[in-house]
């Protein structure tokens, strides 16, 4: 493991504009199943619309929905729009079906082209494909004819085994073989009674590497994109989490934490929440949720929309450029993406009184020399 290096680039984030997509009455701006994609040199924001069971493509050119791909309201694939997806191009839309442990391929008319049942090895018997987490981005690797997702064991989602045995998977659909990789930081389980609140596997792909990260760890794990061999582990601590992320432990190690204990822990404990890059992987962004108070001055329990956070900026080789703080109650950082030297953070936070639900609104910030 190596400590993060400091980049020679000296940059900060400067607000320059807002990006607004007009929504209809059935489209919620609070959808975390999304994808930013460039198709035929046009920028699109794909959004899963559960209200009409459709995948919507919003064009940056028109700032409106340009294409709606509607799926059947009845039948075997009615729940797909609630699952995670990956748009490769207009005629290659991949959906993860966790109910049947399979991957489905559709075209832009929602016609099913191919279905791949996922066949696990004995060591992963009774494991399930996960689609619940928007921080692990599914992908399709053309060169290796492989699809990426993560899997979890038949265990309680709040117990240590759930995180300890969860794996990222690169599945070759041509020969039904796969590579599993990644390991939740072992030191998180040193003490008895450890409960897991953060999703156990998060990651994305670059042109050269598979990147994994964990909410409870400052470390960034870089794997070879093809072999999935571990290349580097970079310890990139936030200035707001110098002592690391403490685990949630119960007074009775044999029992899981209660719902109230988990909620209080998540809302008061800082963590490494979300990480992504721009389209050519020249910049990487890491969103860090800061520790906070569970209740405000009146005794009201705070919500998940009241987090103070910061964004760590890295260059192409994961050298740290800067860490910039953002206030609570304005942004929904879960809906963030980057293009070129611009970072887009969603403004549809319920506490942001100036933003309604008829538009999906993003603050555009530009990387600017200090």
The structural domain count of the chain equals 1
Domain that holds residue 337: 2-369
Q: Are 148 and 169 in contact (CB under 8 A)?
A: yes
Of residues 110 and 74, which shows the higher confidence score?
110
pTM: 0.93
Q: 333: domain CATH number?
A: 2.120.10.30
Q: How far apart are the first and last CA of the chain?
A: 30
HSE of 46, CA atoms in CB hemisphere, 13 A: 23
Range among 160-164, 177-181, 213-217 rated most confident: 177-181
Are the C-beta atoms of residues 46 and 32 closer than 8 Å to each other? no
Determine the Cα–Cα distance for residues 251 and 174; give it in Å rounded to an integer: 49
β-strand 85-89 against 92-97: which pairing, if any?
antiparallel
Length of the chain: 370
pLDDT in tens, 221-275: 999 998 999 999 999 999 999 888 888 877 666 677 888 888 888 889 999 999 9
Query: Cα separation of 60 and 18, whole Å?
Result: 12
Quick: pLDDT tens for 112-133. Answer: 999 999 999 999 999 988 865 5
Lowest mean pLDDT among 123-132, 311-320, 338-347: 123-132
Residues 6+ apart with CB under 8 A from 80: 71, 95, 97, 104
Question: pLDDT tens, 48-93?
Answer: 888 888 899 999 888 889 999 998 877 777 667 777 889 999 999 9
Do residues 269 and 243 lie in contact, with contact meaning Cβ atoms separated by under 8 Å? no
d(CA 168, CA 212): 8
* Token output for 351: 């506490």
């Amino acid at each position: 493991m190596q400590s993060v290096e400091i980049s020679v680039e000296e940059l900060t984030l400067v607000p320059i504009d807002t990006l607004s997509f007009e929504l209809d009455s059935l489209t919620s701006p609070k959808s975390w199943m999304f994808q930013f994609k460039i198709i035929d040199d046009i920028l699109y924001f794909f959004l899963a619309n559960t209200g009409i069971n459709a995948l919507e493509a919003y064009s940056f050119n028109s700032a409106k929905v340009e294409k709606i791909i509607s799926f059947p309201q009845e039948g075997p694939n009615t729940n797909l729009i609630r699952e995670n997806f990956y748009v490769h191009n207009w005629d290659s839309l991949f959906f993860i079906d966790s109910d049947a442990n399979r991957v489905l391929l559709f075209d832009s008319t929602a016609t099913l082209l191919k279905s791949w049942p996922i066949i696990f090895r004995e060591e992963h018997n009774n494991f399930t494909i996960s689609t619940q987490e928007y921080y692990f981005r599914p992908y399709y690797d053309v060169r290796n004819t492989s699809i990426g997702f993560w899997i979890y064991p038949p265990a309680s989602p709040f117990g240590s085994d759930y995180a300890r045995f969860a794996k990222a998977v690169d599945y070759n659909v041509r020969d039904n073989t796969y590579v599993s990789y990644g390991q939740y930081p072992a030191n998180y389980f040193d003490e008895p009674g450890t409960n897991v609140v953060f999703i156990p596997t998060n990651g994305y792909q670059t042109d050269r590497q598979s990147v994994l990260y964990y909410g409870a760890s400052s470390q960034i794990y870089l794997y070879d994109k093809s072999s999935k061999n571990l290349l580097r582990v970079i310890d990139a601590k936030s200035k707001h989490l110098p002592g690391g992320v403490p685990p949630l432990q119960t007074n009775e190690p044999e029992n899981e934490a209660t719902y109230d204990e988990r909620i209080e822990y998540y809302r008061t404990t800082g963590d490494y929440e979300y990480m992504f890059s721009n389209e050519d992987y020249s910049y990487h962004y890491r969103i860090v949720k800061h520790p906070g108070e569970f209740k405000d001055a009146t005794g009201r329990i705070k919500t998940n929309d009241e987090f103070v956070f910061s964004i760590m900026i890295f260059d192409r080789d994961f050298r740290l450029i800067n860490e910039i703080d953002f206030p609570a109650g304005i942004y929904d950082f879960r809906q963030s993406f980057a293009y070129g030297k611009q970072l887009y953070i969603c403004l549809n936070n319920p506490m942001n009184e100036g933003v309604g639900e008829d538009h999906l609104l993003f603050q555009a910030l530009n990387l600017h020399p200090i």
